[in-house]
Amino acid sequence: MNNYLTKSCLLAFLVAAASNNCNIASAFANTKGAPTSFVKARSATATTAIAAAADGFDETRGGTHTIADQVARFARAKEENNERYLDIKSVYDGGDLSGKRVVVTGGNRGLGLAITKELVAIGASVLVICRSSSPELEALVGQYNVYSGVDVTDTEAVNKAAKRVKSDGGAIDVVINNAGYFYVPCDTINDDSLNFEEQLKQINICALGPLRVNAAMVNSKALADDAKLVIITSQAGSAEWRTTQNKDEGGDYGHHMSRAACNIAGVLQAEELRKKGYTVILLHPGFNRTTMTKKYEHIWDIEGAVDPSEGAKRVLHETILANIEKTGKFINCEDGLEIPW
Ligand SMILES: NC(=O)c1ccc[n+]([C@@H]2O[C@H](COP(=O)([O-])OP(=O)(O)OC[C@H]3O[C@@H](n4cnc5c(N)ncnc54)[C@H](OP(=O)(O)O)[C@@H]3O)[C@@H](O)[C@H]2O)c1
């Protein structure tokens, strides 16, 4: 039997989560300005979910989908001793990617660097597209496999990089769109802090960035016949989950809009590119202990944040599982389940 929740299991779990969550909830009493996708939004979440479940709503859709409340999700994994969630090494075998040619954007630091390190460790050829290189990166993948000076908002630079990738070697098996940006302040209407420039910047990097890179790879004919186009997105792009993760607060407009736009662009790419044989997959990488989330380290433990080396294995595990039948899906790398739009 797999670890998917039946409705009754979900109800039982949420009752347990609600009774255990008081301390956890109080730890979130002052989360103003926190990236709400990373935090348990409000203390009433588990209770709300119980009421919803009692009304017949099953947010797991019978077990195909993961749950919105991140604290409850992590607590459930511990309660179930879910090895897939708690120890990716128990299921991960990177061997399928050995010998493959893989492009990673933003592979110079954070999760992207961890993915690059893991790919090198399993014997893949890694080509890193980034804004700035480093001696460490060049020692890792080889100087000629670093395409630096490429901002994913610069169409010309991205197109040039794709053409160089094509002329420098064999076909690309996997493209991992990892480069991303999260504006630090939480902008809201109520305190008149909306920052439209930052919102557009996030949309440009996080939504148009992967579209530019994937389009450049397709149009430069750099891809292998059955190439996989991986887009690292975020649960922040789920509109359904805003009523849990941003309940009664909203905020972080650019962050959420950029990932929702990223997701719909991913689905459109999946539809357009299926006939070419390319798989497009949208991956939420889980909560990783990187520079992007450093200011929230006080919730790393409670939310199940992992070292990027673990996050990298999670991403690569789902990359290996991706195939044309799953093209256009939005997957949570923590548990391998779908996230609702
Ligand atoms: N960490 C998490 O828990 C988490 C959760 C959900 C989703 N994600 C997503 O996972 C990805 C990696 O996140 P991370 O935590 O590793 O973030 P990070 O530590 O902030 O690293 C971001 C990476 O993206 C690159 N980048 C930013 N803007 C760029 C641009 N305009 N052009 C090219 N590269 C650019 C950065 O390059 P520079 O060094 O040049 O700045 C860096 O390599 C991001 O897409 C993020 O949104 C992360």
Between 7-21, 152-166, 177-191, 195-209, the lowest mean confidence (pLDDT) is in 7-21
Nearest to 282 by CA among 303, 261, 263, 301: 263
Output the pLDDT for position 55.
Answer: 75
Ligand 1: does its nearest atom lie under 6 Å from the Cβ of 132?
yes
Q: Which atom of ligand 1 is nearest to the CA of 106?
A: 43
Greater confidence, 30 or 262?
A: 262
Nearest to 251 by CA among 72, 73, 38: 38
Q: Which atom of ligand 1 is nearest to the CA of 152?
A: 32
Q: What are phi and psi of 325, to 5 degrees?
A: -70, -25
Distance in Å, CA 232 to ligand 1 centroid: 9
Asked if 41 contacts 245 with a C-beta cutoff of 8 angstroms, the reply is: yes
Output the pLDDT for position 337.
Answer: 98
Q: Which atom of ligand 1 is nearest to the CA of 182?
A: 47
Ligand 1: does its nearest atom lie under 6 Å from the Cβ of 296?
no
pLDDT digit string, tens, across residues 229-277 = 999 999 999 999 999 999 999 999 999 999 999 999 999 999 999 999 9
Give the pLDDT band of residue 57 (cuts 50, 70, 90): confident
Q: Which atom of ligand 1 is nearest to the CA of 205?
A: 31
Ligand 1: does its nearest atom lie under 6 Å from the Cβ of 287?
yes
Give the pLDDT band of residue 177 (cuts 50, 70, 90): very high
C-beta atoms surrounding 266 within 10 Å: 28
Is residue 105 helix, strand or coil? strand
Ligand 1: does its nearest atom lie under 6 Å from the Cβ of 258?
no
Averaged over 45-67, what is the pLDDT? 72
Give the pLDDT band of residue 52 (cuts 50, 70, 90): low
